[in-house]
Structure 1
């Protein structure tokens, strides 16, 4: 994709066009989320949830469910329940992630675990998972239940895999992809696949929707990992270098370790495996990644996954939403420019 096209795509903000098209459905989703996050006996639950939900975010995952269902001709009410399910699962994982990562900031605001405590974040996350399972059974579609429950298990599995892989220099790109498919892409692909299944789409279309969500989620995570080293903290809501400080082996670092000299490998071992970090180490890490071209290579990988997502859309019905989803894939990687 040309730079001009990327700039144009970013200027039109496809996620906003998608949100406008799905406004009525998203209003219903938001109302259902507000209703189901309430708790008669534990007021801290809506307090913690409202803090995270109110922090903004593009709500891409629930919009993907609504879009997939509409694209495949669904005209019933239960796409709203599935979209809310997806958002509850996502919110629950964010609460748990911030505890595991000991994060202090998300979307430019203090994290729930910082404002309350770790116990509250974990337990409210558990409550949202339970609410998600209540919601996902209401459509009465066993295949949809299988897709979303499998996604919840895959997300947890990906997070646990990351615990062992994130600080191990033997972690390669294959393991990284397994982690990303677990912790990020699984919910994207479940969101799109479930929407298609609910609509009664044929198996080829359901597979295309899964492939789109999978590739989009992988591109999304690779971009996030790259922006951790090249992004603007004001725009991303994260401090530049957080992944390095948290000793996470993300794709640009994995690529740099694979090309490292013995001296460079010793640096990565000290800073990532042992956690012995000093002033100037982040700058040196970025210098090494630039020297070996791994930031550029990571950017190419993100663009390739975005292209795969767009390619999956070719077999789906001719509908305005199809082009919006194609443009959304472009927009995800346009954040890099």
Structure 2
């Protein structure tokens, strides 16, 4: 079993998001109502596609981070509900765009919007959701929160382009890959957590702590996903295992195995990831090489390091149920391997 052995101590609810679900439940009910309202449109296709993805079984972790972060800093207004809904719409829009770019057919076991309605509709509805997200942010009346989330949106798009440019190139370095993850995934986690203390006027130190918490959590979350794709289950991953390999995605376990491999193995990776020779037989060989070179353990070790950083950042908060819930999310992220 993975252990985070954090300087601030383990959460008593290790490996569970039940505490954050419980503490955010009343506000998340309002978030869900707002999401349905924001997805409304006279153009029939928009709510149809939005509902397809919104109801697909995701945990809505990012908006829960916004709610819990605000509660951890004593916020008592309703701006966190609007910002949480905006965060979820930003995430949903990104998924719609990602599936088009990655040519994905399944997400969480369901057909992707692009396979049902086509790429054009998916991209345009994603744009609509982004527009609704920013409209709702403006209603909160916090220029600082708007700046944080709008900056994150730009960084995410930048990360998408960066990943596209680096896609299927085995020359991608570990540093470059982590920079892409920082932009594509961690930026929204960081922004979702940082706007909580902003709403509560908690001061710059609280903002930095929650930004660091969210960023580190996001990096850990993605690296565990990378491990699960080669060493986990579809239920834990939320999609089919091996999808990254079949789509030619170069993730950290692949980079580490490639760097440790001999010439024949390097040639295999080039043919698989750059040349598209990635059938089930190739996947089995890739998984074997990744395990033999310890790439999964090394990737999980880095995820644990980021988990430690998230623990330290959230550990600076006053001891409240909201803080314990935020710490529990870190454990849940890492413990998905088990």
Deviations for 1:35-88, whole angstroms, at most 9, x for unmatched residues?
111002x01110101111111111100010011111111111111110011000
Distance 2:70 2:12 in 1: 25
Following superposition, the deviation at residue 134 of structure 1 comes to 0.2
**TM-score normalised by structure 1 residue count:** 0.95
Asked whether the equivalents of residues 13 and 19 of structure 2 are also in contact (C-alpha less than 8 Å), the reply is no
Question: Using CA pairs below 8 Å that are at least 6 residues apart, which structure has the higher relative contact order?
Answer: 2
Distance 1:119 1:210 in 2: 34
Q: Do the aligned partners of residues 141 and 165 (structure 1) sit closer, same or farther apart at CA in structure 2, a change above 3 Å counting?
A: same
Q: Do the aligned partners of residues 224 and 327 (structure 1) sit closer, same or farther apart at CA in structure 2, a change above 3 Å counting?
A: same
Deviates more, 1:229-238 or 1:267-276: 229-238
Runs of 5+ unmatched residues, structure 2: none
Q: Do the aligned partners of residues 95 and 279 (structure 1) sit closer, same or farther apart at CA in structure 2, a change above 3 Å counting?
A: closer
Following superposition, the deviation at residue 4 of structure 1 comes to 11
1:83 counterpart SS class:
helix
Distance 1:122 1:258 in 2: 36
Aligned residue among 18, 35, 39 for 2:37: 35
Counterpart check, 1:307 vs 2:308? yes
2:168 counterpart SS class:
coil
Partner of 2:271: 270
Following superposition, the deviation at residue 277 of structure 1 comes to 3.4
Asked whether the equivalents of residues 9 and 334 of structure 1 are also in contact (C-alpha less than 8 Å), the reply is no
Distance 1:191 1:216 in 2: 11
Q: Do the aligned partners of residues 321 and 171 (structure 1) sit closer, same or farther apart at CA in structure 2, a change above 3 Å counting?
A: same
Counterpart check, 1:163 vs 2:164? yes
Asked whether the equivalents of residues 65 and 79 of structure 1 are also in contact (C-alpha less than 8 Å), the reply is yes
Distance 2:222 2:134 in 1: 25
Q: Do the aligned partners of residues 88 and 258 (structure 1) sit closer, same or farther apart at CA in structure 2, a change above 3 Å counting?
A: same
Asked whether the equivalents of residues 155 and 184 of structure 1 are also in contact (C-alpha less than 8 Å), the reply is yes
Runs of 5+ unmatched residues, structure 1: none
Distance 2:280 2:189 in 1: 37
Partner of 2:26: 24
Following superposition, the deviation at residue 267 of structure 1 comes to 0.9
Following superposition, the deviation at residue 276 of structure 1 comes to 2.9
Distance 1:278 1:12 in 2: 37
Following superposition, the deviation at residue 139 of structure 1 comes to 1.4
Following superposition, the deviation at residue 170 of structure 1 comes to 1.3
Give the RMSD, CA atoms, in angstroms: 1.9
Partner of 1:207: 208
Partner of 1:81: 82
Following superposition, the deviation at residue 11 of structure 1 comes to 8.0
2:120 counterpart SS class:
helix
Asked whether the equivalents of residues 104 and 110 of structure 1 are also in contact (C-alpha less than 8 Å), the reply is yes
Distance 1:188 1:329 in 2: 12
Following superposition, the deviation at residue 205 of structure 1 comes to 1.1
Q: Do the aligned partners of residues 10 and 96 (structure 1) sit closer, same or farther apart at CA in structure 2, a change above 3 Å counting?
A: farther
Following superposition, the deviation at residue 313 of structure 1 comes to 1.2
Asked whether the equivalents of residues 15 and 58 of structure 1 are also in contact (C-alpha less than 8 Å), the reply is no
Counterpart check, 1:68 vs 2:57? no
Partner of 1:184: 185
Distance 2:327 2:167 in 1: 32
Following superposition, the deviation at residue 236 of structure 1 comes to 2.8
Asked whether the equivalents of residues 180 and 221 of structure 1 are also in contact (C-alpha less than 8 Å), the reply is yes
Q: Do the aligned partners of residues 318 and 277 (structure 1) sit closer, same or farther apart at CA in structure 2, a change above 3 Å counting?
A: closer
Partner of 2:249: 248
Distance 1:325 1:82 in 2: 18
Deviates more, 1:232-241 or 1:58-67: 232-241
Following superposition, the deviation at residue 166 of structure 1 comes to 2.6
Count of residue correspondences? 334
Partner of 1:232: 233
**TM-score normalised by structure 2 residue count:** 0.95
Distance 1:236 1:290 in 2: 18
Deviates more, 1:15-24 or 1:86-95: 15-24
Distance 1:314 1:224 in 2: 24
Distance 1:312 1:234 in 2: 29
